[in-house]
Structure 1
Amino acid sequence: MSYTDELTITGLGAAYARRQIIADLSLAPMQPGQVISLIGPNAAGKTTLLRSIAGLHPTTGSQLLGTRELTHMALADRARLVTYMPQSLPQKVALTVLEGVIGALRASPIDGDSLSEQQLLETALDVIARVGIPQLAMTALDQLSGGQRQLASLAQALVRSPRVLLLDEPISALDLHYQLRVMKLVNALARERGMMVIMVLHDLAIAARWSDRIVVLAQGQVVADGTPAEAITAEVLAHVYRVVARVEPEETGLRIAIDDILTR
Structure 2
Amino acid sequence: MLTLEDVHITRGRFLVADRISLSFERGKVYTVLGPNGCGKSSLLKTLFGEVAHRGTIRYGGETLGKLHLQSWRKRIGYMPQDTAAEASLTALEVVLLGRMDALGMHVGDDTLAEAAQVLEQLGIAHLAHRDIMRLSGGQRQIVMFAQVMMRRPEILLLDEPVSALDMHHQLNLLEHVVRYTRENGLITLTVLHDLSLAAQFSDGLVLLGGGKVHAEGTPKDVLQPNLIDGLYQVEVELLYDRLGAPVIRPLRKTG
TM-score range, shorter chain: over 0.9
AA partner of residue 187 (structure 1): V
In structure 2, the residue matched to 1:101 is: 95
Alignment length, in residue pairs? 252
Stretch of structure 1 that moved more, 15-24 or 219-228: 15-24
- Provide the aligned C-alpha RMSD in A: 2.0
Identity %: 33
AA partner of residue 111 (structure 2): L
In structure 2, the residue matched to 1:218 is: 209
The whole-number CA distance in structure 2 between the counterparts of 1:35 and 1:86 is 17
Stretch of structure 1 that moved more, 239-248 or 57-66: 239-248
Q: Note if 1:254 corresponds to 2:255.
A: no
Kept after mapping to 2: 8 A contact 1:161/1:195? no
- Deviation of 1:72 after TM superposition, in Å, equals 4.4
In structure 1, the residue matched to 2:64 is: 70
Q: Given the alignment, which residue of 151, 160, 173 partners 1:169?
A: 160
Question: Is the partner of 1:107 in helix, strand or coil?
Answer: helix
The whole-number CA distance in structure 1 between the counterparts of 2:36 and 2:247 is 22
Q: Note if 1:184 corresponds to 2:179.
A: no
- Deviation of 1:214 after TM superposition, in Å, equals 0.4
Unpaired stretches in structure 2, ≥5 consecutive residues: none
Stretch of structure 1 that moved more, 74-83 or 175-184: 74-83
AA partner of residue 211 (structure 2): G
Which 4+ stretches in 1 moved above 4 angstroms? none
- Deviation of 1:57 after TM superposition, in Å, equals 1.0
In structure 2, the residue matched to 1:51 is: 45
Deviations 1:188-221 (CA, angstroms, capped at 9, x unpaired): 0001100111000000110001100000111221
Question: Is the partner of 2:153 in helix, strand or coil?
Answer: coil
Kept after mapping to 2: 8 A contact 1:165/1:198? yes
In structure 1, the residue matched to 2:9 is: 14
- Deviation of 1:91 after TM superposition, in Å, equals 3.5
Stretch of structure 1 that moved more, 54-63 or 88-97: 88-97
The whole-number CA distance in structure 1 between the counterparts of 2:208 and 2:174 is 21
Structure-2 change in CA distance of 1:156 and 1:73 (3 Å): farther
Question: Is the partner of 1:243 in helix, strand or coil?
Answer: coil
The whole-number CA distance in structure 1 between the counterparts of 2:195 and 2:14 is 28
Unpaired stretches in structure 1, ≥5 consecutive residues: 1-5
With structure 1 as the length reference, what TM-score do the two structures score? 0.90
Equivalences for residues 14-163 of structure 1 within 5 A: 14-27=9-22, 29-107=23-101, 117-163=108-154
The whole-number CA distance in structure 1 between the counterparts of 2:39 and 2:172 is 27
Question: Is the partner of 1:74 in helix, strand or coil?
Answer: helix
